[in-house]
Chains A and B, each alone.
Chain A
């Protein structure tokens, strides 16, 4: 089955700096890659996703890139703010009768 690895497990950046979280996946048939943000005491919330027919997608300060050849995708957060502090999860799915496989999460801390 699919295996998703996520790095780093923790990341500390100063406010205004950029943050990058990387994930690799094993199933070459995967074609849907969402990113979730989980704030303390809450459930995960989808923040951005990418499908295999595109290489990059942006939404204001966040962007996701996908390299299907290398089977990895990354989340980029620019101009980080304290409210970006949370745990971020990547996931992968083949989209057809398949489940979402999640990475192990990255705890991002944005310091002042």
Chain B
């Protein structure tokens, strides 16, 4: 099993450009998440998908859109990139959403995408 995979690993954009970050998991998980990680701020939730066909906003959704393409894939799109979106982006998945505290709620993270917006 590859677990959670993300592409690309690195990306440099100019202000106003658009791009899509790809995420896929092969663990048959139901829930998937996108976080951003900034120095001194920990991980902040951008969007999540509790199950295939559903998506919801997290803590910092402005400037982003998501698509749960199927059970395996969850993409994050920046329509018009801004320097404030320079960050490391992590995708994660869990068997269940956080409606509970069982081991099925453990979130598995991908290796991250380092995005720089000039």
Contacts and interface: CB of A to CB of B under 8 A. Distances in A.
A95 B111 contact: no
A89 to B, nearest CB: 6
Nearest to A53: B101
A93 B42 contact: no
B105 A32 contact: yes
A31 B105 CA distance: 13
Nearest to A45: B109
Interface stretch (B12-20, B43-51, B68-76, B78-86): B43-51
Interface residues of A, number: 27
Summarize B's interface: helix, strand, loop or mixed: loop
A95 B48 CA distance: 15
A89 B43 contact: yes
Given A41-B111, A43-B90, A46-B107, A95 B42 contact: no
B2 interface: no
A42 interface: yes
A8 B16 CA distance: 38
Interface stretch (A61-69, A75-83, A101-109): A101-109
B98 A104 contact: no
Contacts of B41: 104
A46 B4 CA distance: 14
Given A44-B90, A102-B42, A95 B107 contact: no
B99 A103 contact: no
B45 A99 contact: yes
Contacts of B98: 32, 93, 95-100
A95 B90 contact: no
Interface of B: 4, 40-45, 48, 58-59, 90, 92, 97-101, 105-112
Interface of A: 4, 6, 9, 31-32, 34, 36, 41-46, 49, 51, 89, 93, 95-100, 102-105
